[in-house]
């Protein structure tokens, strides 16, 4: 689905680039406000994996091949906004270093693959998670697989619309051709997404659906193994990928507009994932694929580090994460805190416990059910009679405040029904008994 130069006219290329810029801008803004510093290696790892996976063409029918896009998979694991950035980085590396997709058509490719595929698939994933009556893990795997298929088809539809708007080929001819072949390619995308999602749910369940990332995933060994796996795919599998024309090339040849494609404006020694000084195509593909995998990782990781402040520094748009404890109350009992703090100086919405309904205290999470939510490790604060121990509460998006209430938390492996005092470091909540 990587459009070459020549398939689109100037107006369509400009419109597509503008739409891609808007989508990318919204993603950057979102990432700057929600991405945590220890997640930045994951963006690089996702870019490396997607780059390597897109090199693995598999046969479809009639001498046509297809490859994964990976956008919905990254969205399921990291969220839609990071996925848009990851796919954009991959497309830029593919275009500028390997002549995979035209320079003038880069905006259209970003819009189709990084915006429409990711955002459309993410909407489908969110809807199915709420509507499908299945057990939780099976529901997530099914939703991810179907959303990956839907995202592939949606990207094919917008690509067909761009070709028709450019006058390259009639809509009534290109629409059924593009959607039909990509419905088949989407089956491979759905299968791979479902398998990977199921594996992550089994071994790293907190990664899925926007849950809090595991601390282990921010360490060098964890993402280092993932980068090594991606490089291994490029070295050992990519040279043996199916050499048949991909789906867009097959459609272009069938409908008679393949001759309109132009060679890339940029001259690069790695064009078509080959090296001019090597006579062995397999070896050249392995070296070029490995180089591209590493460059994709560095590109996405560097971008994420530029957008996200270093660990321990407050984000520009984030609320205050902590409130200093009065010196004379350090180490005091809950009863002493209650009597000393009272209601003086607290925001109006925190003064009367009777005015509060049950609310969840947690970093942003997708699941906000009443009561304890083990999957997202939430804590519920309920109103309680005056005189109960106070709880310092740090609610994202609404600043800090004190609640008088009974707190239910999940500590260790057993339920506790006691007052809690929690501190919020920049990455996760840490609950400790008063």
Q: How confident is the model at residue 221 (pLDDT cuts 50, 70, 90)?
A: low
Q: Which of 60-74, 162-176, 191-205, 297-311 has the highest mean pLDDT?
A: 162-176
Q: How confident is the model at residue 222 (pLDDT cuts 50, 70, 90)?
A: low
Question: Do residues 117 and 86 touch, judged by C-beta distance below 8 A?
Answer: no
Residue 184 confidence (pLDDT) above 70: yes
Residue 288 confidence (pLDDT) above 50: yes
Structure confidence at residue 431 (pLDDT): 39
**CA 84/CA 100 separation, integer angstroms:** 18
3-state SS, 196-228, equals: HHHHHHHHCHHHHHHCCCCHHHHCHHHHHHHHH
Structure confidence at residue 411 (pLDDT): 32
Structure confidence at residue 10 (pLDDT): 94
Nearest Cα to 52, choosing from 299, 295, 305, 224? 295
Least trusted range by pLDDT, from 202-211, 278-287, 415-424: 415-424
Residue 55 confidence (pLDDT) above 60: yes
**pTM of the full structure:** 0.72
**CA 378/CA 95 separation, integer angstroms:** 43
| Residues belonging to the chain | 434
Residue 301 confidence (pLDDT) above 60: yes
Q: Which residue has the higher pLDDT, 63 or 49?
A: 49
Q: What is the mean pLDDT of the chain?
A: 75
Structure confidence at residue 310 (pLDDT): 54
Q: Which of 22-31, 232-241, 271-280, 406-415 has the highest mean pLDDT?
A: 22-31
Structure confidence at residue 3 (pLDDT): 95
Percent over 90 (pLDDT), the chain: 49
User: What is the set of domains in the chain, with CATH numbers?
Assistant: 10-307 (1.10.1760.20), 327-433 (no CATH)
Non-local (6+) Cβ contacts of 16 within 8 A are 8, 105, 107, 108, 111, 112, 162
**CA 83/CA 226 separation, integer angstroms:** 17
Buried residues in 295-317 as b, exposed as e (16+ CB within 10 A): bbbebbbebbeebbeeeeeebee
Q: Which residue has the higher pLDDT, 368 or 413?
A: 368
Nearest Cα to 16, choosing from 125, 102, 122, 120? 102
In 233-351, alpha helices (H) = 247-255, 281-307, 334-341
- Per-residue pLDDT, averaged over 324-330, amounts to 46
**CA 434/CA 391 separation, integer angstroms:** 9
In 331-383, alpha helices (H) = 334-341
Structure confidence at residue 278 (pLDDT): 84
Quote helix, strand, coil % in the chain, to nearest 5.
55, 10, 30
Question: Do residues 163 and 8 touch, judged by C-beta distance below 8 A?
Answer: yes
Percent over 70 (pLDDT), the chain: 68
- Per-residue pLDDT, averaged over 209-217, amounts to 46
103-132: pLDDT as tens digits: 999 999 999 999 999 999 999 999 999 998
Residue 59 confidence (pLDDT) above 50: yes
Residue 414, classified by CB atoms within 10 Å of its CB into exposed (0-12), middle (13-18) or buried (19+), is exposed
Q: State whether residue 389 is helix, strand or coil.
A: coil
Residue 425 confidence (pLDDT) above 60: no
60-72: pLDDT as tens digits: 988 899 999 999 9
Residue 234 confidence (pLDDT) above 70: yes
Structure confidence at residue 223 (pLDDT): 67
Structure confidence at residue 331 (pLDDT): 47
- Per-residue pLDDT, averaged over 212-231, amounts to 62
- Per-residue pLDDT, averaged over 337-354, amounts to 40
CA distances (Å), origin 184, targets 157, 189, 313, 360, 425: 14, 9, 47, 43, 46
Residue 56 confidence (pLDDT) above 60: yes
Write out the two tokens for 247.
């789906």
Structure confidence at residue 251 (pLDDT): 94
């Amino acid at each position: 689905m990587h459009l070459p130069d020549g398939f689109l006219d100037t107006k369509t290329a400009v419109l597509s680039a503008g739409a891609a810029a808007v989508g990318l801008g919204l993603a950057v803004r979102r990432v700057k406000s929600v991405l945590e510093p220890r997640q930045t290696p994951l963006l690089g790892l996702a870019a490396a994996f997607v780059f390597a996976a897109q090199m693995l063409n598999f046969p479809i029918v009639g001498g046509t091949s297809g490859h994964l896009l990976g956008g919905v998979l990254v969205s399921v694991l990291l969220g839609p906004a990071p996925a848009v950035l990851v796919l954009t980085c991959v497309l830029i590396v593919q275009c500028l270093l390997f002549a995979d997709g035209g320079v003038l058509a880069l905006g259209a490719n970003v819009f189709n693959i990084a915006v429409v595929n990711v955002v459309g698939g993410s909407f489908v994933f969110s809807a199915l998670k709420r509507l499908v009556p299945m057990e939780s893990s099976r529901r997530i795997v099914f939703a991810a697989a179907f959303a990956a298929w839907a995202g592939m088809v949606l990207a094919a539809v917008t690509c067909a619309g761009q070709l028709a708007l450019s006058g390259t080929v009639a809509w009534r001819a290109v629409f059924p051709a593009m959607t039909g072949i990509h419905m088949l390619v989407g089956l491979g995308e759905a299968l791979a997404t479902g398998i990977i999602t199921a594996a992550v749910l089994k071994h790293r369940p907190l990664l899925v659906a926007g849950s809090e990332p595991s601390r282990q995933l921010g360490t060098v060994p964890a993402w280092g193994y993932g980068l090594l796996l991606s490089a291994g795919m490029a070295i050992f599998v990519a040279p043996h990928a199916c050499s048949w024309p991909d789906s867009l090339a097959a459609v272009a040849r069938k409908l008679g507009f393949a001759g309109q494609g132009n060679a890339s404006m940029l001259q690069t020694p790695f064009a078509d994932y080959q090296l001019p000084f090597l006579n062995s195509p397999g070896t050249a593909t392995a070296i070029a694929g490995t180089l591209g995998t590493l460059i994709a990782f560095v590109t996405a990781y560097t971008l994420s580090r530029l957008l996200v402040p270093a660990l321990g520094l407050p984000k520009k748009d984030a609320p205050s994460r902590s409130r200093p404890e009065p010196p004379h109350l350090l180490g005091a009992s809950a009863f002493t805190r209650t009597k000393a703090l009272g209601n003086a100086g607290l925001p109006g919405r925190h003064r009367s416990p009777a005015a509060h309904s049950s609310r969840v205290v947690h970093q942003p999470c997708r699941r906000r059910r009443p009561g304890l939510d083990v999957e997202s490790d939430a804590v519920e604060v309920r109103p309680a009679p005056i005189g109960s121990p106070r709880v310092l509460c740090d609610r994202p998006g609404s600043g800090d405040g004190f609640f008088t209430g009974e707190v239910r938390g999940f500590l260790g492996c057993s339920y506790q029904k006691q007052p809690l005092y929690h501190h919020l470091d920049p990455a996760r909540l840490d609950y400790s008994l008063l």
